Amino acid sequence: MEISAQTWEFIRKHRNGDVRDLALHAHRDDAVDLTFALDQIDGWQRARTKLPEWAAHDGVIYPPHISMEQCSSQSTARYKAGVAARLVGTSAGSESVSASMSHDGNASTIAEPATPPTANATSTTQTVDGEAATPRGTLVDLTGGFGVDFSYMARGFRRGVYVERQPHLCEIAEHNMHALGLDHVTVVNGNAEEYLTELPDRVTGDTENGPAGNTMGKAADGPTGDMADGSVNGSTNGTVNAPSGPTLIFLDPARRDTHGARTYAIANCTPDVLALKDMLLAKADWVMVKLSPMLDWRKTVADLGDCVREVHIVSTGNECKELLVVMSTRTLRESDDNADNTTAEPHDNTSSDGSIRMVCVNDDDVLDYRIGTDGKVLESTDTTADGDTDDAENTISDAGNNADGNAEPAYLYEPNASIMKAGCFDLLERRYARYGLRQIGPNSHLFVSGSMIERFPGRAFEIDAVTGMGKKELRAALDGITQANIAVRNFPMPVAALRKKLKLKDGGDAYIFATTTAKGRHVLMVTRKTR
C-alpha cells in the first residue's frame, strides 16, 4: 500500500489525540491522507486494549471501526494458536489442553502449552515450557479477514496461507504480516470454496499442482510451496506444489445471510461449513471452525456429525465470545504416526471410543473433560475429582440445610459463562465433592458448600444470610443494607420487581441471589463477593 511518509508522521504524532477534535481542527496538508490517518489513530487506540501486541508495532494498518469491533481479541487469538499448535504436534508439552486467559490491565493474554511468541518476534520458532518447539506443517485460513487469528496461529506452522476474497483486506493483510515479521506466509486473494476445491487431498494428494490464486506481496510472481515442508520457491504460474494437503484448515464463516442480515446458523454463514465438511476433512488433517457463541453446542455437534473431536467454549471477562469446533477423520493410530517427519511429540487428540473433548475456558478458569456420543460426561481430566454422587443428592432440600446436610452453607458459587453454556453442572459436583458442593435446586445453576473452594471456575461469595420472602425474615436479613446487586435464578420475580419490593438501590458490596430450592421454597441468599 502506498502511504506517504507525511501521513505516517501525522499518525505517530497524533495517535494519542482525540480523533473527533483532530477531524475538526487538524491542519490540512495535501501530503497527508487525513481520512486514512484518522482511521489509523482510532484503530490504534482501540488496539491498545484489544490487540496490545499489534499496537506495539509502528506501521500496522487497522481497518475501519466496525471491523475492529468484530475482529478477534489478542487473548482469543492466542488461545486458538495454542490449540492449533497442540493439534499439529508443535507443542512438546503435556496432553492436557491447560489453556487459560488472564487480564493484565488493558491487555489480555493467554497461557497455553504452546504459547506463540509476541507479535514483534521475527522467528517462527516457539517455546513450550521453556523448551524450543519447531513449527511444523501448513496452516490454511480460508476466511482471512483482518488476519488477527491467522497472525497468531501461523507462528506455530512452518508455512501459512491466508485466503480472502476482498482485495482491500488482502492488501492490508500482506502489509501487516510483513510488519509483524511473518515472512513465511502467503496472502491469496481468492474464493474460499474455489481455493479449497483445488487443494490436494491430505493422503492421496495431487503431486504436481495445488491451488492457483491471485497471490500478493513477496510472492507476487506466484508462490509455490510444498504443503508438507513449507518451502517457498519463485514461480510464474501461481500454483502450489503440494504432495499432501494442509495440516490444519481454519474457518471463521461470515455471519451474514445473502441479504446482509446478521445470522449465526451454520448453514446461513459464508462459507457453509456443513456443505463443505466432507471436502474440508478430505483436504486437511484438522479443521478448526470458529462459530457464534449463540449456537447450541449440542445441536452443532449433532449437525457436524462424528467428525467432531473437540469443542471449546471460550469466554473472556465472563462473556462467551466464541464456539470453537475441531473436526478430523484421524484415528488414534494416525495421530501417533504423525506423518510430518519431525521429532515433535505427537498427541492423543482423538479417542477410539468416539468421545469428544470439551473445554470450557474463561480467563484463568479451565474445565476440561470428555463427553460420549450421547452427550453425557464420561470423565474429567482434573485430578481433584473425588468420584460420582447419587442424583438424589444433587440438590439441597431447603435453605437451612448445607449441601452435606451438616450445617448451614457458608459459600455460594456461580459458574462462569462457559460452564453455564456447557451445562456440565453434575461434573462440578463430582469434581468438588470433597468440599460438599451441591446445587441449590435442579434449575438454579447455583452451588453452595460448607468449605471455601479457592479455584472454583466462576464467582464465589460468602453467605451472610438465607431468608424466605416473609416480611419479618426479610427485615432481619437485610438489616443495614440499602443497596445491593441482585440476580434471579429460577425465581418467579424479575430483578426490577424484586428490587422494588426490597426497596434497595443498585450497587454496593452486597450480592443477593433469589432462587428456588429443591423443595420449591423461594429464598434470597444475601452474600458478599470473595473474589
Cell of 462: 460468602
Cell of 115: 504459547
Query: Has residue 156 got a pLDDT over 90?
Result: yes
Length of the chain as a residue count: 531
Query: Has residue 325 got a pLDDT over 70?
Result: yes
Query: Has residue 335 got a pLDDT over 60?
Result: no
Backbone phi, then psi, for 209, in 5-degree steps?
-130, 140
- Pseudo-torsion of CA 318, 319, 322, 324, nearest 10°? 20
Report the 10 Å Cβ neighbour count for 149: 26
Task: Let me know: does 140 contact 188? Beta carbons within 8 Å.
Answer: no
Distance CA 301, CA 213 (A): 33
Report the 10 Å Cβ neighbour count for 28: 6
Distance CA 84, CA 354 (A): 21
Cell of 210: 495445488
Confidence of residue 465 (pLDDT cuts 50, 70, 90): very high
Range among 12-21, 86-95, 108-117, 279-288 with highest mean pLDDT value: 279-288
Confidence of residue 106 (pLDDT cuts 50, 70, 90): very low
Q: What does the pLDDT average to over 145-166?
A: 96
Query: What does pTM read for this prediction?
Result: 0.80
DSSP label of 139: E
Task: Let me know: does 145 contact 68? Beta carbons within 8 Å.
Answer: no
**Residue 368: closest CA among 409, 327, 323, 424:** 424
- Pseudo-torsion of CA 199, 201, 203, 204, nearest 10°? -100
Structure-model confidence comparison of residues 21 and 392, the more confident one: 21
Distance CA 1, CA 60 (A): 11
Task: Let me know: does 315 contact 418? Beta carbons within 8 Å.
Answer: yes
Beta strand 131-133 pairing with 126-128: antiparallel
- Give residue 300's pLDDT: 96
- Give residue 105's pLDDT: 37
* Omega before residue 271 within 30° of 0, cis: yes
* Domains 71-380 and 391-529 belong to one CATH topology: no
Task: Let me know: does 281 contact 329? Beta carbons within 8 Å.
Answer: yes
Structure-model confidence comparison of residues 336 and 502, the more confident one: 502
Distance CA 308, CA 525 (A): 41
Out of 32-36, 89-93, 193-197, pick the least confident.
89-93
Contacts of 140 (CB under 8 A, 6+ apart): 160, 161, 163, 195, 199, 246, 248, 249, 250, 284
CA 50 vs. chain centroid, Å, equals 14
Q: What does the pLDDT average to over 146-152?
A: 96
Out of 256-270, 428-442, 489-503, pick the least confident.
256-270
Cell of 184: 513465511
- Specify the residue for cell string 506455530: 156
Query: Has residue 410 got a pLDDT over 90?
Result: yes
**Residue 91: closest CA among 48, 136, 150:** 136
C-alpha separations of 133 from 157, 342, 477 in Å: 11, 11, 58
Q: What does the pLDDT average to over 465-478?
A: 94
Task: Let me know: does 460 contact 528? Beta carbons within 8 Å.
Answer: no
**Residue 201: closest CA among 304, 347, 88, 329:** 329
Range among 7-11, 131-135, 482-486 with highest mean pLDDT value: 482-486
Looking at residue 26, its amino acid is A
SS3 state of residue 459: strand
Distance CA 125, CA 149 (A): 18
Distance CA 273, CA 287 (A): 10
Contacts of 13 (CB under 8 A, 6+ apart): none
What kind and span of H or E run contains 50? helix 34-50
- Give residue 351's pLDDT: 58
CATH numeric code, 391-529: 3.30.2130
Confidence of residue 109 (pLDDT cuts 50, 70, 90): very low
**Residue 135: closest CA among 146, 127, 143:** 127
Summarize pLDDT for 282-317 with one digit per residue, the tens. 999 999 999 999 999 999 999 999 999 999 999 999
Query: Has residue 399 got a pLDDT over 70?
Result: no
SS3 state of residue 188: strand
- Give residue 255's pLDDT: 84
Distance CA 485, CA 503 (A): 12
Summarize pLDDT for 255-292 with one digit per residue, the tens. 876 666 787 889 889 999 999 999 999 999 999 999 99
Task: Let me know: does 323 contact 295? Beta carbons within 8 Å.
Answer: yes
SS3 state of residue 332: helix
Q: What does the pLDDT average to over 100-129?
A: 38
Contacts of 282 (CB under 8 A, 6+ apart): 201, 202, 245
**Residue 216: closest CA among 277, 280, 171, 275:** 171
- Give residue 352's pLDDT: 59
- Give residue 35's pLDDT: 87
Superfamily of domain 71-380: Vaccinia Virus protein VP39 (3.40.50.150)
Q: What does the pLDDT average to over 477-486?
A: 96
C-alpha separations of 381 from 164, 259, 296, 347, 459 in Å: 38, 44, 24, 15, 22
Report domain extents, the chain: 5-50, 71-380, 391-529
Q: Tell me the average pLDDT of the chain.
A: 79
Query: Has residue 27 got a pLDDT over 90?
Result: no
Summarize pLDDT for 200-251 with one digit per residue, the tens. 997 644 433 445 555 554 433 333 344 544 333 333 333 444 447 899 999 9
Out of 47-56, 112-121, 469-478, 521-530, pick the least confident.
112-121
Query: What stretches of 51-115 show up as alpha helix (H) in DSSP?
Result: 52-55, 65-70, 74-88
